[in-house]
Amino acid sequence: MERTVPLYSRGRYTYTMIYLATDHRGFALKEKIKTWLGEWQLEFTDCGATSLNPDDDYPDFIALAAEKVSQDPVNNRGIILGGNGEGEAMVANRRAGVRAAVVYAVNDEVVKMTREHDASNILSLGASFLSDDDAKHVIKLWLDTPFSEEQRHVRRIAKY
């Protein structure tokens, strides 16, 4: 299922794809996220897992989503999930242009800083540590927060 709608990015509205990926640990939450994104009329692509399989491995799905984000890291976004989100972020951050930020607790300032200061383009959620309501709040806040484009942040991001 795919939908198109503009998201704020780099001082203008642009059409953006959100890529989703998880293994079995985040599968149930990913299915809920698809519903929320649909309600918000946001475009997304599900990179897997497409069914609940306790024996699957997160790198198989996370690498695909990260590769898609890396093809247009300014405009594309990703939301990836795992038990704590750490391993998933490690896989994602191996791709050029990907800046995955791990969130496994609600802290609005931290979530906003990952976008404003770090221009994160992938949100890696610790599904075992977030309630559905908390995850929904974090995702909406992250998607609604633009990169600040302050020169100190632009300069730092350009170094990696």
Give the CATH number for residue 16.
3.40.1400.10
pLDDT band at 160 (very low <50, low <70, confident <90, very high): confident
User: Looking at residue 5, what is its pLDDT?
Assistant: 35
Encoded amino acid at 28, one letter: A
Q: How many CB atoms lie within 10 A of CB 76?
A: 21
Point out the catalytic residue in the list 43, 67, 86, 88: 88
DSSP state of 41: T
pLDDT band at 15 (very low <50, low <70, confident <90, very high): low
Point out the catalytic residue in the list 67, 117, 137, 153: 117
Residue 59 domain boundaries: 6-158
Worst-scoring range by mean pLDDT, 11-15, 84-88, 110-114?
Answer: 11-15
Domain count, the chain: 1
Q: Is residue 112 part of a domain?
A: yes
Identify whether 117 is a catalytic site residue.
Answer: yes
Q: Is residue 1 part of a domain?
A: no
Identify whether 88 is a catalytic site residue.
Answer: yes
Tokens representing 77?
A: 């976004």
